[in-house]
Amino acid sequence: MALVSDWIQLGSEIFYRKPELYSMGWDKRLNLEDFIVAAAPLGGPIALTIIETKAVHQSKSLIFIFSASGTQITSFKWTNGSLVFIGWSRNEDLVCVQEQGDVLIYDMFGNYQHTFNFGQEVKDSFVKEAQIFTSFQDTGLAVLTRANRIFVVNSIQEPKARKYVEIPGNPDSPVLSWALIREERQTNVIASRESRLFLLDYQEHMALPQNICWAGGDERVFAISISSNYRHIALYTEKGNLWIGSSDLSTKYCECGTGAVVLLWDMTLEIISVNGESTIMYLDSRSSLVQEIDSVRIISSTTHDILHKVPRVMVETMGIGSMSPGALLLEASQGYQEGSTRATDCLGMIKETLEEAVTQCYQSAQHEFNQSIQKALLRAALFGKTFVPNMDPEPCKSVTTTLRILNAVRNQRVGIPITWNQLEWMTVSVLLDRLVLRRLFPLAFKIATYLKLPDAEGTSRVLAHWACFKVKQPSQKGDDRIAQEVNAKLGYTPGISYTDIANKAEQVGRKSLAIKLIEYECRPSKQVPVLLRLGEDQGALKKALNSGDADLIHAVLFHLRNKMALADFLMLIRNFPAAMSLHIKSCKESDIDQLKDIFNQEDDFYNQALLKISEAFDAKRIDSQLVSLQGAGELFRKTKSDFNSQITEDQVKLIRAQIRLEENEQKSFVNKSLYDTMLQLIKDGQIKEAEKLKADFKVPDKRYCYLRVYGHAEANHWNELNAFSKNKKLVIGFEPFVDACVKFGSTTEAQKYLSRVKEENKITYFLKCDLVEEAFRLAQELRSASALQEVSSSCRTNQFLQNKIQLIPLSYT
Amino acid sequence: MKNKIDFSFIREASRNELIKLLSSIPGPKAIVWDKQLVGTFGLIGDFTFLRNYEVVKMFYISRENLPSNNIPNIIFLTVPTRNHMDYINNQLRMEEVHSGGNKKDFYLWCVPRVSLLCEERLKQHGVYGAFMSIQELPIYMYKLENDVAMLNLSSCFRDLHMNKDSSDLFFIARALMNIQGIFGLIPNVYGKGSAAKGVFDLMVGMRRELGGNEPQLILIDRAVDLITPLATQLTYEGLIDQFFGINNCTVKLPSEKFTSMNSRGGSDSPPNDSSSFDFNEMKSIPLTSADTLFADIRDFNFSAVGPRLSSEAREVSSQYEKRHTANTVSDLKQFVQKLPKMQVARQSLSTQTTIAELVQDKIINSDFRPTLHAEQELLKGSETDKVNSFIEECIYQKEPLIKVLRLICLQSIINCGLKQRVFEFYKREIINTYGFEHMLTLENLEKAGLFTVQQGKSTYATIRKTLRLTVDDVNESKPTDVSYVHSGYAPLSVRLVEFLQWPGWRAITDVLTVLPGPTISETQQLPPALKQRRGPEYVILTTKIINGNSFIESLMENLEPLS
């Protein structure tokens, strides 16, 4: 079958192939030989820089960055000393190491990110080589100095240089080769010097010699290579021997295993399986290799190929002469399209195993790069599936979906040549990040929509990144316009945080844009702190007030209060009545002095007066109480609230009178109300004093009469009461006399006044005096049903009377 | 009738929040309570419930030091107010001193959330760092009945209308958003009053923030209807509340009235009695619809309660009498099976009868009737522009100030403010009788619009007529109109809701314009298929259950005269 013509057999049933990914977009005359080439794994970008020969020791050179398909992304001038190494971090940042151990990090667009160095010792002894590696959680970097010492940082984000133990050997003999091995969280180094191999254990601070038995005596290891997962190692020796084994060097692989080692000499590529079988490929030009988790990419001046082992399922489905169900289904499907009877013949042979056949077809498609072959395989899978009605359609569907995404990102213009396995390993979410990083927002957005990812991890995230990018770009447009554009795209999608975007704008110093953007944030709790940080005090206050969230308002007020002079602060918040009332309320609870200041500043005499009144009641001494009250009275007068002023001044007058009375009577009067004071005086028989108060405070006659009646009654001064009842100035009826007598315990006294009670009240007052019979008689005389009802309801227990009432005819009105 | 919205979820959700926090602290713990919260938390879980989470002691947040104890975890549970932070500071420091070498862990839980001001206060005191953690207990609502819930914001009206502080609206909007989060967007929103508008605006804002069938939401600002809380309620439950005060569905009554019953029944211990709380001579009686008899009569006009209780008594005794007619074994078995139910019924009958007697006593042995009469005259709008002789008389007699204020405020509101002369007369008489310390209380009432000088013509006549606020022929035993609850006065807010159902607010625009505050009538988008006509069922969310007394009290200023 034509599909497999480029397969290379390596032992039985194991094939390798090297399909072309791209015809490189860069100038084909480019000679890679002249450059240091660094390509990021997982289909990342490629960096090129001119190799510095010792002769032409130049500290200025150009660094070019290309996509994996050879499209130039950027180029920039390197001016930071002699460049030793360039490599890519896990986040696709370019890591450049110079001779003195300074490390500079750029993003893929050549924007400088940050820098660190390996310390004085490295600076003094100069970096000879460097290696980048994946550490426990981040990207690590290691350097070998000209003094043959190794230094490692485990994270380029939080760099901390660790010095490794010295590699034993003659000081003049160089370290021949070295590599990093990760074990759990720890990074160790394998290094060869002279004819010995050492494991440098950082934890133990020891160089452990490693003994490997070479067939022909000691060998010097010239090259060490570690597999991506740190499990396998390959050593290449001076005499051309290759040793492949587990990374702890304890097991030498002999037969099993799936990996292989690729050796590159000039233009010859040799693939050696772990079984020791090998095959050779010839390349067209000088090339550079990129190690991936499941393959090796080969970058030459003209093409970009991928070398990988043909997966078993593909071998079965597409291998020459294969009779597996998948192969037969593929055959059948092709026959069907050609209208050939081959279709039925083949189908007939796999009746029982159709499901397996379908699976094999779509699984093969997963690993195929060629789109027409992908289609042929998927078509075969779908063709087969029509005969298996109950088969779960999901896997097949998901393969189709994922392949579309893979094809889209592999496209020459995008240039991310990842394999199915790589995508599974890195996840779609990371892929979206990478697209976003490349500023391919529309593609990322489409993928997110296509996969129906939840907004928060899909479209919203992409849009948010887009917005962050957008606000960082220099633009001729006004800030208003940019903010509007961002809002038009993003709307109010849940999961979009305008706060983040505004923060980005702020970071690049575009404060006014940040203010415009934060305007769109709909969570006041996020929005307000940003506004405060941006110095938008009024805006923050407004938003906080709109939110209705008192705590947020207090936060703003608190911030402003700490930042401004009191006068300015008050001047600001007086424009916001709601803020003002909240501030006043909290002052009431905690800071009366400030409250006074506010009322003073506002010329709010009324509230000042009220405050004085509270003060009067907090006062510990009577004279200070008087002062406060007097103050309150004056303040009330200023507000034209004469009535309040008068009653407040009356209170002052009253207290003065009470003080005088206390001195005279040796009794406590202060803080009794006016009427209680008068009542007390009447009870004490001090009628003159009471009348003086009546005159001083213009107590109404009616009120005074009541006081007299109740005062005498309470003191059981019945004679005085009687005398008072004959007073000509009496302006009240006799009902209060009866009430007062009853209240203070004498119905006998009460009855004295009954006859003078108004007719219409008589029944009620008879009842009050427990003269039920009289009440009944009167009610009967009046022939009033309502009066009878009143009598009846007030003497429920008096059965005799109740019966009498029952007997009364209902003809009463 | 099963409501579409059942507030039971509130209790469950609150319980879960509480459990989450409780179980985050291993080992025995003591809760130091904010006094206001104790009763309310009884609605969530009782002491037994807390004991399951190793709460072994309960104390109060107060000026006093905590009683000596050896409990390793001390939890302060409080609403975030400045005063409480001061007390907590003190109690925590003293506790640290007293515990000697044994280190204790302190926690602060704020309901419903931690406030910045309180954090600042604790920082000022320097105890902010002394807590293992400061956490929020986000309980915004408490379920009172399946169809009634409250937010427990007791100073809401005072803050809104006196301090112009609208913070509480935020919590109301939050609570409504919570309800909508569970039961779906409420498509039709109606409302009256500036606070109602405030809540609605906040809700709209929050909806955008959260990204979010047929029920309606009616928001009513208390300021729209100040009359109703001042009028005396004449339903059974209303009178119990009036005389004895119902808090968190519980009333406290003199226990000697119930002793005989206890020896008989013995099974009605109050729900959240706990070791440290001693209610002295008072007995807590839960009043909820869980008691079927109470559920039946709670909304009866009191005059109809007596007959209902007697018929219930006859029913219960006739049930018991059946034991004489139980001749066969199977009859007897049937009877025995019914016995527990009958005992419950008898127990409940006896409790309710005792309560009804207590209420009756109060009605007879106080000037309840004349007061009611005066109140009803005011509600009819008669002579509200003069000094009311009954009120005058009350002041002369130095009747309780709250009662006097209730009547004066009622008169003031109905008259749209009092004539200057009348206003000054009342004010002076109150100060001269009760003392100058009430000056600020009167100011507060004035700020809140309850006791004011007349501004323009009274609109009460129009409102009364259009909304039929007073009804003459009220059938108290078989009510056909809501006016039975006040024997003649129909609550304004209820009328607003009724008119919204039919014929709609468009018919009463004249009233809506004279009532204070803006009117809301908004439809949130919903597919028409969801709209269907049915008799409305109401569920109620309130900031706090109030009555005239507690309403006035919330506005009073407590100034202690110098002694």
Question: Is the CB of B169 less than 8 angstroms away from the CB of A675?
Answer: no
CATH topology of domain B236-364: Syntaxin Binding Protein 1; Chain A, domain 2 (3.90.830)
CATH class in words for B8-139? alpha beta
CB contacts of B439 in chain A (<8 Å) are: 613, 647-648
Question: Is the CB of B115 less than 8 angstroms away from the CB of A670?
Answer: no
- Both A16 and A35 in one domain: the answer is yes
Please indicate if any CB of chain B lies within 8 Å of the CB of A428. Answer: no
* Alpha-carbon span B179 to B3, nearest angstrom: 14
- Domains contained in chain A, number: 4
Tens-place pLDDT, residues B519-554: 777 655 443 333 344 456 788 888 888 888 889 988
For each successive 10 residues of chain A (813 residues), what is the average pLDDT? 66 82 82 83 87 55 88 87 87 90 90 90 90 86 91 88 86 87 84 86 84 72 81 79 71 46 71 74 80 84 86 86 88 89 87 89 91 91 89 89 92 90 88 89 89 80 82 79 82 75 84 85 85 89 89 90 87 89 86 86 89 88 91 92 92 92 85 91 91 92 91 91 84 87 85 86 83 82 77 73 70 52
Please indicate if any CB of chain A lies within 8 Å of the CB of B169. Answer: yes
β-partners of residue B453 are B418
Q: How many CB pairs under 8 A join A and B?
A: 114
Q: What is the pLDDT of residue B3?
A: 52
Q: What is the pLDDT of residue B516?
A: 80
Backbone conformation region of residue A783, classed left if phi is above 0, alpha if psi is from -120 to 50, else beta: left
Tokens 């005096």 sit on residue:
A769
Q: What is the pLDDT of residue A526?
A: 86
Please list the alpha-helical segments (H only) found in B231-328.
236-244, 259-264, 292-297, 302-325
Give the closest of B166, B436, B557 to A651, CB-based. B436
Mean pLDDT, chain B, whole residue set: 84
Please indicate if any CB of chain B lies within 8 Å of the CB of A28. Answer: no
- Both A89 and A148 in one domain: the answer is yes
CB contacts of A674 in chain B (<8 Å) are: 431-433
- Both A419 and A289 in one domain: the answer is no
Instruction: Measure B55 CA to nearest chain A CA, in Å.
Output: 31
Task: Assign B494 to helix, strand or coil.
Answer: helix
- The answer on pLDDT for B361 being more than 80 is yes
Tokens 């990207």 sit on residue:
A139
Is B326 within 8 Å of B288 (Cβ atoms)? no
Quick check: is A285 in a domain?
yes
Question: Is the CB of B435 less than 8 angstroms away from the CB of A613?
Answer: no
Which residue does chain A place closest to B161, by CA atoms?
A581
Which residue does chain A place closest to B212, by CA atoms?
A494
Which ipTM score applies to this complex?
0.79
Question: Is the CB of B117 less than 8 angstroms away from the CB of A494?
Answer: no
Q: What is the pLDDT of residue A251?
A: 54
- Both A104 and A175 in one domain: the answer is yes
Quick check: is A324 in a domain?
yes
CB contacts of B208 in chain A (<8 Å) are: 492, 522
Tokens of A144: 């070998």
Please indicate if any CB of chain A lies within 8 Å of the CB of B373. Answer: no
Most A CBs within 10 Å: which of B168, B209, B434, as the mutation test of the A interface? B209
Residues 6+ apart with CB under 8 A from B491: B225, B227, B228, B231, B482, B485
Residues 6+ apart with CB under 8 A from A372: none
Give the closest of A622, A673, A710 to B432, CB-based. A673
Quick check: is A237 in a domain?
no
Weakest-pLDDT range from B112-121, B183-192, B252-261: B252-261
Is A102 within 8 Å of A80 (Cβ atoms)? yes
CB contacts of A578 in chain B (<8 Å) are: 164, 166
Q: What is the pLDDT of residue A345?
A: 87
Question: Is the CB of A647 less than 8 angstroms away from the CB of B439?
Answer: yes
Please indicate if any CB of chain A lies within 8 Å of the CB of B433. Answer: yes
- Both A49 and A96 in one domain: the answer is yes
Is A249 within 8 Å of A230 (Cβ atoms)? no
Tens-place pLDDT, residues B22-74: 988 888 999 999 988 888 888 888 888 888 899 999 999 998 888 888 888 99
- Both A113 and A133 in one domain: the answer is yes
Quick check: is A223 in a domain?
no
- The answer on pLDDT for B307 being more than 50 is yes
Most B CBs within 10 Å: which of A521, A549, A585, as the mutation test of the B interface? A549
Angle between helices B401-414 and B439-447 (to 10 degrees): 30
Is A629 within 8 Å of A652 (Cβ atoms)? yes
Give the closest of A547, A584, A610 to B205, CB-based. A547
- Both A62 and A200 in one domain: the answer is yes
CA nearest to A490, candidates A461, A512, A515: A461
CB contacts of B433 in chain A (<8 Å) are: 673-676
The count of other CB atoms within 10 Å of the CB of residue A473 is 10
- Both A427 and A479 in one domain: the answer is no
- Both A332 and A436 in one domain: the answer is no
Quick check: is A478 in a domain?
yes
Is the four-CA dihedral A801, A806, A809, A811 of positive or negative sign? positive
- Both A44 and A186 in one domain: the answer is yes
* Helix (H) or strand (E) segment spanning residue B299: none
If you average pLDDT over residues B133-145, what whole number do you get? Answer: 90
Question: Is the CB of A613 less than 8 angstroms away from the CB of B396?
Answer: no
CATH of domain B141-225+491-563: 3.40.50.1910
If you average pLDDT over residues B204-224, what whole number do you get? Answer: 73
- Both A478 and A338 in one domain: the answer is no
What are the phi and psi torsion angles at A509 (to 5°)? 80, 15
Give the closest of A492, A617, A710 to B437, CB-based. A617
- The answer on pLDDT for B313 being more than 60 is yes
Give the closest of B170, B429, B561 to A671, CB-based. B561
Most A CBs within 10 Å: which of B121, B167, B445, as the mutation test of the A interface? B167
Give the closest of B116, B163, B173 to A555, CB-based. B116
Quick check: is A327 in a domain?
yes
> Which pTM does this prediction carry?
0.68
Most B CBs within 10 Å: which of A520, A523, A554, A673, as the mutation test of the B interface? A673
Question: Is the CB of A610 less than 8 angstroms away from the CB of B443?
Answer: yes
Tens-place pLDDT, residues B406-424: 999 999 999 999 999 999 9
- The residue range of the domain holding A442 is 402-452
Task: Assign A177 to helix, strand or coil.
Answer: strand
Tokens of B418: 């009092």
Quick check: is A783 in a domain?
no
Strand order in the sheet with A206-210: A175-183, A186-193, A196-201, A206-210
* Helix (H) or strand (E) segment spanning residue A252: none
Weakest-pLDDT range from A22-26, B179-183, B209-213: B209-213
**Residue ranges of the domains in chain B?**
8-139, 141-225+491-563, 236-364
End of a domain among A430, A452, A474? Answer: A452
Question: Is the CB of B437 less than 8 angstroms away from the CB of A522?
Answer: no
Contacts by A586-594, CB closer than 8 A, 24 or more apart: A586/A554, A586/A557, A586/B117, A589/B82, A589/B83, A590/B82, A590/B121, A594/A566
Most B CBs within 10 Å: which of A620, A675, A694, as the mutation test of the B interface? A675
Residue A252 half-sphere exposure toward CB, CA atoms < 13 A: 10
Please indicate if any CB of chain A lies within 8 Å of the CB of B170. Answer: yes
Chain A residues 512-571 with a CB less than 8 Å from chain B: 522-524, 546-551, 553-555, 558
- The answer on pLDDT for B366 being more than 60 is yes
If you average pLDDT over residues B267-281, what whole number do you get? Answer: 43
- Both A377 and A419 in one domain: the answer is no
What are the phi and psi torsion angles at B57 (to 5°)? -140, 155
CB contacts of B82 in chain A (<8 Å) are: 589-590
CB contacts of B418 in chain A (<8 Å) are: none
End of a domain among A263, A288, A309? Answer: A309
Is A367 within 8 Å of A377 (Cβ atoms)? no
Instruction: Measure B552 CA to nearest chain A CA, in Å.
Output: 19
Q: What is the pLDDT of residue B563?
A: 55
Tens-place pLDDT, residues A373-387: 999 999 999 999 888
* Helix (H) or strand (E) segment spanning residue A565: none
Quick check: is A792 in a domain?
no
Give the closest of B164, B167, B431 to A577, CB-based. B164
